[in-house]
């Protein structure tokens, strides 16, 4: 641990019976802080329960405990994990052992309500991820029950997401009140103790800014322009806070949550365009992120998937600059040219003037490339490598050269020799980047791009082989030209036909290349990589031969073409006049790098993905770290690692794309975190917390207990004015329902919660009332799977008053659809139609609508008025098969012949209104078949229905002669 960790622990154990909420910057070693608290725990104090820990956090805490043994001679056992697989007596022994244990909130709350856990044996609770807690969460339910019976219990909550602690109104204050805490401990990166410890002996940092390629700059500029256009459209709604609608905020995932939180209450009133804009902003953020993360072929593949899935729904695709994204992404991978390389010109001036957008988006194509259908077209591979790949290789070679120099120096000792043999850690965002970078280092970068290119082409073949749903599709569907970069300024048949022919020729050339690769793969022919012939613009022609033109000629041709098209290029669009020099330089560098791939050795390298969440620095102990994708949390982890190892020399390389959103996002994350801490500091100075927080919170809710003045006046009219003894309300709750917050709210309402395993229903309010609770998302999925029909059928069979509770979220609209979306016709896919059919099929079913959890508690209280309390033993037997067979006056499954009832209801003349009378009048289907028509008419209430049923039963079976 670092020294400021000791200060945090000292602040927490200053008042052992209180605890507090600790908010610290991300990456400051939260797992080591928890491990330090576990070291200080002794079994004689009681059990220590760790709640809300993610799997990666559990692994990190256990790794820290393993790496840092107890400084005392006493050996502390590692925390055990309490799961639902453990029997009850095993869980009880762990509760009373005095050890620390990881446990889920669902298991703990059930054991508390069933009194399997002695509350006096619990010394304290450690809550992780406190930013995800709320007043109605299960963790707050657990703390309230434990604090009510154990006043000496301490609660220590932790969070390393400061920006999440300032979302919403007074989030930190509400979290403190829900956990019955009074102290808020803030530990930002700029705190005095933290900054002193981390800056005492900082690591050597090398900041490398890698210039992006010309097309990457063009794509980034186009995406930002489209995002800005979408934000301007969003501002026109006047329903979102304008201050939050900035491009900088749009780079973070929390931006989607901010916008949805503001729009959810009025979501049903929004138009389709506004709803789609919310989804489009998320897509555009991914486009910016993937541009600097993935290679050119993978990025093009992602754009193709967007084109297929969001072609006509999305708003951003029809923005003015969106066509550049697709065109520049193509140019990073391949070009199309004439086989003879001649410059083509259009024969019609009118067509050329109307195709201004098409000319702008095809700076490296001839204007009328496909005007003549018989002209041969060559597919020219570009396969632009990521600029960071070359720089990463150079960094690794530089590290190896420096190590050799140190090894040959006379001052080389054992410690420096050990550092020279240390591992170089390369940190990326995801596993895909890890695999790709490893292939680039171990083999050839061109082979990596070639492999991705072949996968891309083979996927084209597979898509072409799939059966087409609509073969009569028009050749020029709406929006086709926009999606493929040909955007005519005015509608014109000639222009549309030209764009269609270009797309057709491109697809044919791609399919031809893919077919050749698939044939070679089937024959087992190994594709020979010739780097000298396939760098940048030197590619293969798959239509009528191979393009063997030199790089110099291609570059000059591009230069001439750029000059001719400069008049058509707008000021806002990407200018490619300087491209040839950059292409030549890149080609030279790649060829030189390829010649020395095997010549220059590299040190041992380990690749690591942030998404794994594992703390790997203390395990590998690297001497050099390359942050391929810089992340603020990982930077703090490096600082902690260097502070814990002051004698170790650590050199850190940061790779940024110059003038990219990657730099902007990294800097904005620091500003956002500092702003969050400044807001928390202001909130801490103005917080209004009760002096006796525990006593105030554990008392009965004044809102639920205070009676109205009319009820208080009614008491005086009774003899003696005495109040009746308050009857405790009981609710039987299914175990699976503790994933929701409703049991917590019912307990706050003063109801006694009895957790059991129910086969029928979710909540049993009385012997006659059974409730099946459905959230909106669960309701849709239950209708889709048919599970809801079976659940309602079971409730109708066993309970007199079955209730379907449809519960909405408090912060969302209290409606399924807007009034404009409700149609007059009954459609099988409409949720309103499905509910109507369900109510018609089960006439006794009651549907209850609830606006929020608190409204549900009020509804349950009103439904239980003048009702008997439910029987736990009887409720658990409902719908459960018995081994001994049919039991008289029981509610088990054997007392109902479901198959016979379903068969009866399907007979002609039998309806929902008379099948129960038939069941009461005869004991079996055999007896029904022998009843005369007069008796059938008496039971069925209609002579016509009786005749229909009798004719059906007496009809002769047709036989073959």
Burial group, residue 272, by CB count within 10 angstroms (0-12, 13-18, 19+): exposed
Which secondary-structure segment (H or E) carries 130? none
Mean pLDDT of 687-695: 66
pLDDT surpassing 80 at residue 468: no
| Residue percentage of the chain with pLDDT more than 70 | 72
> What is the reported pLDDT for 798?
85
Instruction: Provide the 8-state DSSP code for 649.
Output: -
Mean pLDDT of 438-454: 86
pLDDT surpassing 70 at residue 689: yes
As a whole number of angstroms, the distance between CA 541 and CA 897 comes to 73
- Which positions ≥6 away from 128 have C-beta within 8 Å? 30, 34, 50, 51, 52, 53, 54, 57, 157, 158, 159
As a whole number of angstroms, the distance between CA 537 and CA 334 comes to 8
pLDDT surpassing 90 at residue 797: no
| Residues 158/127, Cβ–Cβ less than 8 Å | yes
Angle subtended at Cα 32 by Cα 28 and Cα 38, rounded to the nearest 5 degrees: 145
> What is the reported pLDDT for 490?
40
- Report pLDDT digits (tens) over 927-946: 888 888 898 898 888 898 89
> What is the reported pLDDT for 680?
93
As a whole number of angstroms, the distance between CA 732 and CA 865 comes to 16
> What is the reported pLDDT for 290?
92
- Which positions ≥6 away from 716 have C-beta within 8 Å? none
pLDDT surpassing 80 at residue 2: yes
- Report pLDDT digits (tens) over 322-363: 888 988 998 999 887 766 554 333 333 333 333 333 333 333
The length of the chain in residues reads 961
Q: Read off the tokens for 878.
A: 């409902």
Q: Is residue 75 helix, strand or coil?
A: coil
Q: Read off the tokens for 87.
A: 């029997």
- Which positions ≥6 away from 799 have C-beta within 8 Å? 760, 761, 768, 769, 770
pLDDT surpassing 80 at residue 256: no
- Which positions ≥6 away from 513 have C-beta within 8 Å? 379, 457, 540, 542
| Residues 597/397, Cβ–Cβ less than 8 Å | no
User: 717 vs 436, which has greater pLDDT?
Assistant: 436
Alpha carbon 943 to its chain centroid, in Å, reads 62
Q: Is residue 875 helix, strand or coil?
A: helix
pLDDT surpassing 70 at residue 527: no
- Report pLDDT digits (tens) over 622-646: 989 999 998 999 999 999 999 988 8
- Report pLDDT digits (tens) over 49-95: 999 998 888 988 888 888 765 544 344 568 888 888 888 888 888 88
Least confident of 278-282, 424-428, 689-693: 689-693
For CA atoms 707, 712, 715, 717, the dihedral sign is negative
- Report pLDDT digits (tens) over 706-765: 444 444 455 555 555 555 555 678 999 998 888 888 999 999 888 899 999 888 889 999
Mean pLDDT of 663-678: 90
Mean pLDDT of 184-201: 91
Mean pLDDT of 469-483: 43
Radius of gyration from C-alpha coordinates of the chain: 36
- Which positions ≥6 away from 160 have C-beta within 8 Å? 23, 24, 25, 26, 27, 28, 30
């Amino acid at each position: 641990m670092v020294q400021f960790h000791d200060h945090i622990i000292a602040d927490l154990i200053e008042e052992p019976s209180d605890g507090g909420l600790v908010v610290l910057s991300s990456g400051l070693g939260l797992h080591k802080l928890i491990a330090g608290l576990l070291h200080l725990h002794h079994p004689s104090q009681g059990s220590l329960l760790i709640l809300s820990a993610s799997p990666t956090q559990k692994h990190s805490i256990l790794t820290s405990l393993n790496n840092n043994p107890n400084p005392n001679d006493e050996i502390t056992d590692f925390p055990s994990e309490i799961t639902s697989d453990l029997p009850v007596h095993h869980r009880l022994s762990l509760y009373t052992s005095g050890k620390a244990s990881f446990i889920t909130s669902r298991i703990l709350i059930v054991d508390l309500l069933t009194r399997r856990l002695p509350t006096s044996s619990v010394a304290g609770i450690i809550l992780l991820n406190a930013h995800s807690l709320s007043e109605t969460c299960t963790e707050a339910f657990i703390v309230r029950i434990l604090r009510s019976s154990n006043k000496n219990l301490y609660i220590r909550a932790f969070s390393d997401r400061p920006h999440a602690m300032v979302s919403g109104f007074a989030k930190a204050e509400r979290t403190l009140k829900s956990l019955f805490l009074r102290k808020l401990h803030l530990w930002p990166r700029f705190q005095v103790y933290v900054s002193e410890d981390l800056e005492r002996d900082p690591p050597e940092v090398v900041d490398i800014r890698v210039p992006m390629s010309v097309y990457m700059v063009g794509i980034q500029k186009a995406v930002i322009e489209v995002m800005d256009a979408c934000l301007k459209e969003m501002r026109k709604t006047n329903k979102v806070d304008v201050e939050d609608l900035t491009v900088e905020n749009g780079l973070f995932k929390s931006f989607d949550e901010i916008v949805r939180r503001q729009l959810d209450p009025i979501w049903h009133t929004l138009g389709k365009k506004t709803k789609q804009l919310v989804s489009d902003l998320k897509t555009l953020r991914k486009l910016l992120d993937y541009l600097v993360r993935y290679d050119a072929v993978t990025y093009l593949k992602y754009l193709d998937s967007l084109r297929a899935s969001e072609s006509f729904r999305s708003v951003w695709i029809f923005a003015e600059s969106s066509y550049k994204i697709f065109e520049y992404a193509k140019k990073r991978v391949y070009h199309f040219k004439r086989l003879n390389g001649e410059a083509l010109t259009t024969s019609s001036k009118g067509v050329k003037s109307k195709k201004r957008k098409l000319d702008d988006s095809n700076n490296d194509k001839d204007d009328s490339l496909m005007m003549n259908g018989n002209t041969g077209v060559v597919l020219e591979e570009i396969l632009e490598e990521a600029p960071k790949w070359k720089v990463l290789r150079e960094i690794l070679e530089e590290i190896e050269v420096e190590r050799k120099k140190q090894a040959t120096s006379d001052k080389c000792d054992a410690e420096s020799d050990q550092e020279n043999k240390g591992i170089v850690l390369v940190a990326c965002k995801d596993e895909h980047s890890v695999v790709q970078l490893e292939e680039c280092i171990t083999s050839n970068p061109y082979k990596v791009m070639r492999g991705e290119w072949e996968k891309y082409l083979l996927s084209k073949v597979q898509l072409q082989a799939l059966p087409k749903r609509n073969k009569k599709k028009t050749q020029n569907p709406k929006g086709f030209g926009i999606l493929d970069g040909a955007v005519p300024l005015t509608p014109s048949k000639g222009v549309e036909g030209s764009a269609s022919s270009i797309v057709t020729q491109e697809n044919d050339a791609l399919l031809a290349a893919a077919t050749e690769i698939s044939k070679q793969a089937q024959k087992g022919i190994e594709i020979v990589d010739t780097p000298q012939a396939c760098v940048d613009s030197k590619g293969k022609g798959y239509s009528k031969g191979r393009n063997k033109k030199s790089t110099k000629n291609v570059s000059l041709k591009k230069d001439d073409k750029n000059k001719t098209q400069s008049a058509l290029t707008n000021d806002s669009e990407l200018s490619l006049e300087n491209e040839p020099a950059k292409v030549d330089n890149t080609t030279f560098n790649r060829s030189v790098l390829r010649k020395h791939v095997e010549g220059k050795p590299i040190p041992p390298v380990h690749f690591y993905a942030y998404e794994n969440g594992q703390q790997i620095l203390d395990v590998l102990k690297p001497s050099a770290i390359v942050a391929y994708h810089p992340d603020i949390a990982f930077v703090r982890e490096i600082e902690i690692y260097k502070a814990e190892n002051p004698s170790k020399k650590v050199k850190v390389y940061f790779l940024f794309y110059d003038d990219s959103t990657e730099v902007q996002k990294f800097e904005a994350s620091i500003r956002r975190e500092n702003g969050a801490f400044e807001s928390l500091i202001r909130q801490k100075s103005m917080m209004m917390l009760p002096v006796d927080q525990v006593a105030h919170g554990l008392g009965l809710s004044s809102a639920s207990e205070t009676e109205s003045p009319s009820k208080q006046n009614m008491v005086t009219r009774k003899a003696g004015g005495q109040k009746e003894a308050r009857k405790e309300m009981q609710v039987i709750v299914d175990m699976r329902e503790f994933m929701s917050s409703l049991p917590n709210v019912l307990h706050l309402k003063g109801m006694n919660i009895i957790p059991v395993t129910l086969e029928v229903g979710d909540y049993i309010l009385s012997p006659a009332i059974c409730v099946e609770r459905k959230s909106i998302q669960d309701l849709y999925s239950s209708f889709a799977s048919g599970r809801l029909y079976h659940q309602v059928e079971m409730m109708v069979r066993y309970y007199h008053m079955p209730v379907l509770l449809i519960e909405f979220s408090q912060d969302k609209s209290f409606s399924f659809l807007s009034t404009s979306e409700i149609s007059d016709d009954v459609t099988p896919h409409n949720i309103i139609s499905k509910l109507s059919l369900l109510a018609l099929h089960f006439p006794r079913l009651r549907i209850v609508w609830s606006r929020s959890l608190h409204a549900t508690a009020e509804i349950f209280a009103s439904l239980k008025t003048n009702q008997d309390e439910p029987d736990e033993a009887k409720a658990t037997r409902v719908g459960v098969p018995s081994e001994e067979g049919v039991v008289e006056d029981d509610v088990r499954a054997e007392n109902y012949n479901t198959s016979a009832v379903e068969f009866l209801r399907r007979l002609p003349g039998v309806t929902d209104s008379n099948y129960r009378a038939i069941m009461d009048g005869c004991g079996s289907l055999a007896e029904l078949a022998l009843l005369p028509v007069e008796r059938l008419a008496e039971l069925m209430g209609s002579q016509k229905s009786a005749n229909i049923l009798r004719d059906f039963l007496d009809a002769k079976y047709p036989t073959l002669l």
